[in-house]
Amino acid sequence: MQQRILAQLQEKIHHAPAEVGLALRGVDFDLQVNINGDMVFRSASIIKVPLLAGLFWMSERGLLDWNEKLSLRDDDRTPGSGILRELHTGLEPTLHDLAVLMVVLSDNTATNMLIDRVGVEPIQEFLHLLGFHHTTLQRKMYDFAAAEQGRENLCCATEIADLLQWMAQGEIRATDGRLLVSGAGCERMLDIMRGQFYRDQIPYHLPDEARVANKTGEISGHHHDSAVVWTPSGCYTLVVLTRGCGHRRIAAQFIADLSLTVYETVRQATG
């Protein structure tokens, strides 16, 4: 199965309308495919996946209470995706509410409120504990001044696919074996991701029998999607990062086509 999928994906990526980094991981079966998997991309909203996991790590250490409320301030309002910026000043969502908005609607205001609350450093520590070398959170959403100073949010396909694989397996551990996020925490994260509103890439062409928990990302010619996919015969994670495609619709269709190729081959191979 692995060689067949690799050959099919390499052929499609060879004719891709953009640079592509892809990583595929089996959760219930042995499967690992990397195509430019360590190529580093601007993460866009894909960074919200490791940020979510880092928040759960902090919660399980007693450093964060999901029921804590933050008051929405005018200064919190951030452009781009999301609904929170349209709501009234003084609204008091809980940290859990903000995490849901961050993932399901990719809400940038919610994301920045969470980053302001916990800081960048704890999330960087979490990524270090995972052994990640490329995925990094260095700034808030739409902080272009920080980006111009070289503080950019980055990721690669292999690290995001690994994180999702651990999440789907029910444990996230440090490189030294320490448990960072429990099975209960992993399941809560997947529940949030299953509510994803943006589903026109990895989930788009998949049949009704498939269940998908995903998180997309998009910024300045970068179009990404990352997902856990459950089939009737097993589960896998897929991450596709793209750079240089001029039209979002073309990139989304390309990622959706790759996703369907993986799904059909996995289903045929696993029966």
Can you list the domains of the chain with their CATH numbers? 2-270 (3.40.710.10)
Distance CA 149, CA 135 (A): 18
Burial 167-194 (b: 16+ CB within 10 A, else e): bbbeebeeeeeeebbeeebbebbbebbe
> What pLDDT score does 230 carry?
98
Q: Which amino acid is at 230?
A: W
Q: Is 106 helix (H, G, I), strand (E, B) or coil?
A: coil
Residue the block writes with tokens 């929170």 = 84
Comparing C-alpha atoms, which of 195, 256, 192 is closest to residue 223? 256
Residue 1 is predicted with a pLDDT of 84
Question: Is residue 145 predicted with pLDDT exceeding 80?
Answer: yes
* CB-CB contact of 173 with 80 (8 Å): no
Question: Looking at residue 4, what is its pLDDT?
Answer: 92
Predicted confidence at residue 146, as pLDDT, reads: 86
What pLDDT does 150 receive?
Answer: 87
Average confidence (pLDDT) over 209-216: 98
Residue 41: pLDDT band (50, 70, 90) is very high
d(CA 102, CA 100): 5
Q: Are strands 172-173 and 19-26 parallel, antiparallel or unpaired?
A: unpaired
Residues 149-161: pLDDT tens digits? 889 999 999 999 9
- Tell me the whole-structure pTM to 2 decimals: 0.97
**DSSP for residue 68:** -
| Distance from C-alpha of 15 to C-alpha of 137, rounded to nearest angstrom | 31
